[in-house]
Amino acid sequence: MREILGRRRRLLSRRDNDRPEMLGAALTFATAWQWPVLPGVAPDSQGRARCACPDPECTVPGAHPFDPGLLAATTDERMVRWWWTNRPTAPIILATGGMAPCAVSLPALAASRALAALDHMGMRLGPVIASSTRWALLVKPYSMEQLGELLYAKDFVPGSLRFHGEGGYLALPPSETGQGPICWERAPLPGSAEPWVPDVEAVVDAVVEALTRTGVSAPEL
């Protein structure tokens, strides 16, 4: 009996140790920054596929909403606590747009070179989220009409740029996904209020110029 109780305590302790980092991050996003979040579908724990969702060809394994769906995203503290108390290692998914930031993402190698060029240009950036394959630059919320006008006015926009606006989503740090960890390439200041983010026009203009200057083709990924 002592052995069983001891094993149970170890398991509960291990679960509790897993919980604070994810729950704390989710609460910061939802309650301190007012970013609506929800738990994502986890990577497949059985190793049969990279994602636990029913789609065997899932392109964002473990990094998307499934149950609950995206419309359930909330800033409500009680709901966030309930989700991550019951699913302590679930990825944190941001519902982009509305009152939350949107994002512009591009392949990791191109993003790395673009950020170096933007730093050289003196461009001020907000938080940047990195995965093994893509980096996402957070920007102020924008409408589809605003984005359409911006892209229409440009002679060239790399096809590898993706736009996460109203109705979109992003996995937030410190989530673990089927493609590896999600982390901050440029982290918000610790303990700060809601992070500052630039306008989408400034970011798209600067990224396109940086990619052109550095000769990065930014292949489709």
- Tokens 């591009």 locate to 106
* pLDDT of 44: 67
- Residue 1 predicted with pLDDT over 50: no
Q: What is the pLDDT of residue 50?
A: 78
Q: Which pLDDT tens digit goes with each residue over 175-197?
A: 998 888 999 999 987 766 789 99
| pLDDT tens string 79-119 | 999 999 999 999 999 999 998 999 999 999 999 988 998 89
pLDDT, tens digit, 9 for 90 and up, residues 5-61: 344 334 333 444 455 689 999 999 999 999 999 999 877 666 655 788 888 888 888
Give the count of domains, the chain. 1
| 33 assigned to some structural domain | yes
Q: Identify whether 3 is part of a domain.
A: no
Give the sign of the dihedral formed by CA 208, CA 211, CA 213, CA 217: negative
Q: Domain limits at 42?
A: 14-214
How many CA atoms lie less than 13 Å away from 215 in the CB half-sphere?
A: 0
Q: What is the pLDDT of residues 129-186, one digit of tens each?
A: 999 999 999 999 998 899 999 888 888 888 889 999 999 999 999 999 888 899 999 9
Averaged pLDDT of the chain: 84
Tokens of 131: 């995965």
Q: Give the pLDDT score at 46.
A: 64
Residue 8 lies in a domain: no
